[in-house]
């Protein structure tokens, strides 16, 4: 094998290994069901008007401790954009009166809620090294969840608009064609 | 004693003079081997754009393809400012022809300057493939494309496209 071909082959082999260290990317609709919620997901959405409420539906057949993190691209025009999220489902604490007022929807009977207001004075800044992106982050939070149906509500409490990425899950599984989605919608995931 | 001191000073000056002559000869020969370029660059992973001036020194006789390459870039994007420093090898083939293919490989020290957080720095490997279009009076237009790959502390990829003016001394 020529040296040039060996160099190219080595680069391709190394590039193919990168999905094993990254989240599975997906653009989401306003109401989105995530089929395999244990998988490490990066769910991309956008608030155009600021009054949207994204609802991400998850089901667990066994208990699981799941990390959640809400990211905003580190762009000047999104410096004041601070979306919040709530994890709603069984086994979580009942909402306080203040939380009930803050939330965009009523927590169903029998469900509790974890609320991340994203109102820290200084936000965590993270560098996502695979795609060379920088985000403001709510900071990762691990929630122990029991078996059952859950929802994540992502909303903009002050009505501002911008892009977000909801990061959740742990396991790596790119059988759904993770990198193919990235190349098909490069500008969403890479910029 | 005084004579010995004077002789020592003269000897030292002679050593300095001969070293300077040698250095001057090396500098002159290096200048004849220099290729400089100022290309504009875009990296499509993370989307940054700017310039990456480079200096290349031909390693062997005139007509040789082999060059050592040093480059320093300043690229701006919506999320960070990117400052790569590169040291590598570039082959420029077909000396004397108008269209000359190039291929390069090397290492980079990549710095990502973030406005409200500490800079992120990492080492990476790069490969580039391109072509030079030789113009009159030692000028040229050069174009390169190529990936870079960081494999250690902050793994990730990049892909750059560069085009710009070049001059061969």
Q: What is the DSSP string of chain B?
A: -HHHHHHHHHHHHHHHHHHHHHHHHHHHHHHHTEEEEEEEEEETTTTEEEE--EEEEE-SSTT--EEEEEEE-EEEESS-EEEEEEEEEEEE-STTSSEEEEEEEEEEEEEEE-TTS--EEEEEEEEEEEEEEE-STTEEEEEEEEEEEE-SSS-EEEEEEEEEEEEE-
Looking at residue B14, its pLDDT comes to 57
Residue with the larger pLDDT of the pair A87 and B12 = A87
Confidence of residue B16 (pLDDT cuts 50, 70, 90): low
Using alpha carbons, select from A67, A116, A59 the residue that is nearest to residue A90: A59
* A181 interfaces chain B, CB cutoff of 8 Å: no
Confidence of residue B62 (pLDDT cuts 50, 70, 90): confident
Q: Select the residue of A18, A76, A131 nearest B46 (Cβ to Cβ).
A: A131
Q: Select the residue of B43, B114, B151 nearest A14 (Cβ to Cβ).
A: B151
Looking at residue A183, its pLDDT comes to 67
Alpha-carbon distance values, A156 to A47, A53, A82, A104, B129 (Å): 8, 8, 7, 9, 46
Looking at residue B32, its pLDDT comes to 80
Mean pLDDT of the region A30-52: 91
Give CA B10 to chain center in angstroms: 40
Cα nearest neighbour of A18 on chain B? B156
pLDDT at A104 over 50: yes
pLDDT at B55 over 50: yes
Q: Which chain B residues are within 8 Å of A75, Cβ to Cβ? A: 78-79
Residue A112 near residue A83, CB atoms below 8 Å: no
Q: Which chain B residues are within 8 Å of A18, Cβ to Cβ? A: 155-157
pLDDT at B2 over 90: no
pLDDT at A175 over 70: no
Alpha-carbon distance values, B37 to A150, B122, B126 (Å): 57, 25, 18
Confidence of residue A182 (pLDDT cuts 50, 70, 90): low
């Amino acid at each position: 094998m020529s040296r040039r071909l060996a160099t190219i082959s080595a680069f391709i082999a190394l590039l193919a290994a990168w999905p094993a260290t990254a989240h599975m990317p997906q653009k989401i609709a306003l109401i989105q069901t995530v089929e395999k919620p244990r998988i490490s997901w990066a769910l991309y959405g956008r608030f155009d008007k600021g009054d949207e409420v994204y609802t991400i539906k998850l089901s667990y057949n066994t208990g699981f401790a799941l990390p959640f993190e809400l990211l905003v691209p580190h762009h000047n025009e999104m410096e004041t954009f601070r979306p919040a999220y709530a994890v709603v489902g069984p086994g979580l604490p009942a909402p306080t009166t203040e939380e009930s007022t803050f939330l965009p929807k009523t927590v169903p009977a029998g469900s509790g809620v974890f609320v991340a207001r994203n109102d820290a004075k200084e936000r965590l800044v993270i560098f996502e090294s695979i795609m060379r992106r920088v985000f403001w982050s709510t900071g990762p939070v691990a929630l122990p969840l029991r078996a059952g149906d859950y929802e994540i509500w992502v909303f903009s409490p002050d009505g501002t608009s911008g892009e977000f990425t909801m990061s959740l899950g742990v396991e790596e599984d790119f059988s759904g064609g993770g990198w193919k989605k990235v190349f098909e919608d490069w500008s969403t995931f890479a910029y | 004693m005084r004579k010995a001191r004077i002789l020592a000073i003269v000897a030292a000056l002679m050593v300095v003079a001969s070293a300077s002559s040698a250095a001057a000869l090396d500098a002159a020969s290096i200048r004849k081997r220099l290729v400089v370029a100022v290309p504009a660059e875009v990296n499509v992973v993370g989307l940054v754009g700017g310039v990456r001036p480079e200096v290349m020194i031909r390693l062997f006789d005139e007509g040789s393809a082999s060059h050592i390459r040093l480059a320093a870039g300043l690229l701006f994007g919506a999320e960070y400012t990117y400052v790569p420093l590169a040291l590598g090898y570039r082959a420029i083939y077909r000396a004397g022809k108008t269209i000359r293919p190039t291929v390069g490989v090397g290492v980079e020290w990549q710095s990502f300057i973030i406005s409200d957080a500490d800079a992120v720095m990492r080492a990476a490997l790069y490969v580039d493939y391109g072509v030079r279009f030789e113009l009159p009076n030692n000028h040229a237009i050069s174009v390169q494309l190529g990936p870079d790959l960081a494999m250690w502390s902050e793994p990730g990829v990049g892909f750059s496209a560069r085009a710009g003016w070049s001059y061969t001394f």
